[in-house]
Amino acid sequence: MRKTIKSITLIVLIFILGVFFISLNKSTDYNTEHLIGNKLNKIKFESLEHKKIFTEEDFKKNNYTLINFWASWCAPCRIEHPILIKLSKEQNLKILGVNFKDKKINALKFLKDLGNPYDYLAKDTSGKESVNYGIYGIPESILIDNKYIIQKKFIGPLNLKDYDDILEVINSL
């Protein structure tokens, strides 16, 4: 009986140490590289300003669409905003802004104060819809083509390198 208890204790201890060791070697980085090249399915966002739902049909005619998840309360969103304003002038790109867990009045004031780079303005007041797109924090952006294939995904505020990367993709037609 004692031998059985010792054996079971040893097996449990080895199992716990094994799980601990495996978890130490596992990467904790938030990496979404695996999403690039995949197709977005069932695009569906509620308009921030109108009683309209944006779906795949709204983006079919665009060569490229940048889906940008942002909020008025997000300090890094203010940092990336000038990049979005510059991108809004590009012919091959349309920008969908998804206002994330924000109040409409604050979002519209943010855009009035800083400028509105968005061709489409949507909302995700609960944050639940954004999770379907691999969004866990903001700002994040996804560049898709007219077949809804993810070309690039950007975590954090867009910067000048990201701007150049986006231009390289959208001007490669």
The pLDDT of residue 100:
95
The pLDDT of residue 149:
93
Give the side-chain half-sphere CA count within 13 A for 27: 4
Q: Which residue among the candidates 77, 98, 122, 170 is catalytic per the annotation?
A: 77
Cα–Cα distance measured from residue 36 to residue 144, given in angstroms and rounded to the nearest whole number: 9
pLDDT band of residue 65 (cuts 50, 70, 90) is very high
Q: Catalytic site residue 10? A: no
Which contacts (CB < 8 Å, 24+ apart) does range 151-157 have? 151/36, 151/64, 152/36, 153/32, 153/33, 153/35, 153/36, 155/30, 155/32, 156/76, 157/76, 157/77, 157/79, 157/80, 157/83
Cα angle, residue 40 at apex, residues 36 and 42 outer, rounded to 5°: 170
Amino acid at residue number 19: V
> Which tokens go with 62?
């665009």
Mean pLDDT within 20-45: 71
Cis preceding linkage at 139, omega within 30:
yes
Residue 54 predicted with pLDDT over 90: no
Residue 55 predicted with pLDDT over 70: yes
Mean pLDDT within 105-113: 96
pLDDT band of residue 96 (cuts 50, 70, 90) is very high
Task: At 128, give phi and psi (nearest 5°).
Answer: -75, -35
Total length of the chain: 173
pTM of the model: 0.80
Residue 144 predicted with pLDDT over 80: yes
Task: State the CATH class of domain 42-170.
Answer: alpha beta
The pLDDT of residue 164:
96
Q: Which residue among the candidates 66, 74, 135, 142 is catalytic per the annotation?
A: 74
The pLDDT of residue 25:
67
Count the Cβ atoms, other than its own, within 10 Å of residue 160. Answer: 10
> Which tokens go with 89?
């002038």
Q: Catalytic site residue 77? A: yes
pLDDT band of residue 21 (cuts 50, 70, 90) is confident
The pLDDT of residue 27:
55
